[in-house]
Structure 1
Amino acid sequence: MTKIKLCGLRKMEEIKIVNQWKPDMIGFVFARESKRYVDPETAALLKRNLDSAIRSVGVFVNEDADKVASLLESGVIDLAQLHGNEDASYLKKLKEKTKKPLIQVVRAVDRMVLKAAEQSTADYIMADSGAGTGKTFDWKILSEIRRPYFLAGGLDEKNVGVAIKELHPFAVDVSSGIETDGKKDPEKIEAFIQAVRQQREVNI
């Protein structure tokens, strides 16, 4: 059953919305260059008000491993999503500091890159078109992946059902697809989650 991750949450009203719809995961972006950046103190406050059934994911870009581990071990986040150039040695170092799950993001540019990503020591991999571009990529190149993966990049309520039907990803990840004018849109959040759940029922 494909899980749902809503990324880029920054405000308390957004937490109230997701508490109502209960996706499996939400994401806090800790990369300062992102327009969706949230500082650790705000993330901690949002986490305290998040439904306990929803897991929080921290999104990082080439962040110091100690800082990532600190946020994981303090409970601000439950998983870390690595969106930069983190290599095998970085993953090894981080795994020595925390046992919490790690997601390594892979730019889905061709089959060779994705096949190499299958060897990642991260708990999960995420196939994405780029660093929050909000654009889809050729899903056909995912056909040879033999490990569970998150699907990201250009998903919205209109295409997520097709993605699940064709690819059966472990999880789908959305950010810009649930926004209007750069802000999280309650109606789009509802529509996205409903689209995923409807396809889940078809796949049962």
Structure 2
Amino acid sequence: MTRVKICGTTSVHDAVLSAEAGADALGFIFAPVSKRLVTPQVAREASLSVGPAVARVGVFLNQGLDEVLRTAEAARMSAVQLHGPLSRLYVEGVAAYYPVLRVVRPADLAVEAGVWTGVSGVTLMLDAPEPGGGVPLDWEALRPHFPPGAWLAGGLGPANVAQAIRVLRPAVVDAVSRLEVTPGVKDPAAVRAFVRAAHSAELESYPQ
């Protein structure tokens, strides 16, 4: 069953909004270059506001191992999402403490799927070359290389998430830019519509 992650959470209000809409996971971006940067203190408050049933994913880009682990602990994250050209040793170092989402680009999917499939504590997440840019991927072209259990991001929104699920059957769909009023501020109607659309696709794809 495909689950839903709402990324770019920057406030307690938006964390509660997403959780009440039915999100299974929230993403908190700690990469300094992001327009959706959140402090560990705010992320911790948001994490505590939604309870343990909702996964809290810390998003990092080319940051030191100690910084990642320290921030994830302070913010009460339950998993870590890693972007950037990172070594296997680094990724496995994080995976020793947290479940890891290893983010890959479409051009690298086939190779990275071979590297990480079956590695304990590491799950692949396919994202656009420019994460958060709102540009959808070519799901049909990627279908032969998309591994079971992988997560999917990249230009997803209420209007296209059902089709993405039907084509690739990802474990989790992840959205941010198409669910916002401005970067870092969620559009409540779009968040609810995204969750509804993903759940509707579940009903169509997995008839009871």
- The TM-score, its normalising length taken from structure 2, stands at 0.89
Q: How far apart are the structure 2 equivalents of 1:48 and 1:141?
A: 37
Larger RCO (CA within 8 A; separation ≥ 6): 2
Q: How far apart are the structure 2 equivalents of 1:94 and 1:14?
A: 27
- Give the one of 100, 120, 123 matched to 1:102: 100
**1:184 equivalent in structure 2:** 186
Q: How far apart are the structure 2 equivalents of 1:95 and 1:143?
A: 27
Q: How far apart are the structure 1 equivalents of 2:29 and 2:191?
A: 18
Superposed CA RMSD: 1.6
**1:79 equivalent in structure 2:** 79
**Cα contact 1:106–1:125 (8 A) shared by 2:** yes
Map 1:3-152 → 2, pairs under 5 A:
3-73=3-73, 76-96=76-96, 98=97, 100-109=98-107, 113-118=108-113, 119-120=115-116, 121=119, 123-130=122-129, 131-139=131-139, 140-152=141-153
**Cα contact 1:19–1:51 (8 A) shared by 2:** no
CA shift for structure 1 position 74: 5.1
**Cα contact 1:60–1:83 (8 A) shared by 2:** yes
**Cα contact 1:4–1:193 (8 A) shared by 2:** yes
Letter in 2 for 1:2: T
CA 165–62 in structure 1, closer or farther in 2 if over 3 Å, else same: same
- The TM-score, its normalising length taken from structure 1, stands at 0.91
**Cα contact 2:40–2:75 (8 A) shared by 1:** no
Q: How far apart are the structure 2 equivalents of 1:101 and 1:67?
A: 16
**Cα contact 2:125–2:152 (8 A) shared by 1:** yes
Letter in 2 for 1:62: N
**Cα contact 2:11–2:46 (8 A) shared by 1:** yes
> Given the alignment of the two structures, is residue 194 of structure 1 paired with residue 196 of structure 2, yes or no?
yes
Q: How far apart are the structure 2 equivalents of 1:93 and 1:11?
A: 29
Q: How far apart are the structure 2 equivalents of 1:18 and 1:57?
A: 14
Aligned-pair identity (%): 31
Letter in 2 for 1:200: E
Letter in 2 for 1:56: R
Runs of 5+ unmatched residues, structure 2: none
CA shift for structure 1 position 132: 2.0
**1:164 equivalent in structure 2:** 165
Runs of 5+ unmatched residues, structure 1: none
CA shift for structure 1 position 154: 0.6
Q: How far apart are the structure 2 equivalents of 1:73 and 1:184?
A: 25
Q: How far apart are the structure 1 equivalents of 2:79 and 2:8?
A: 14
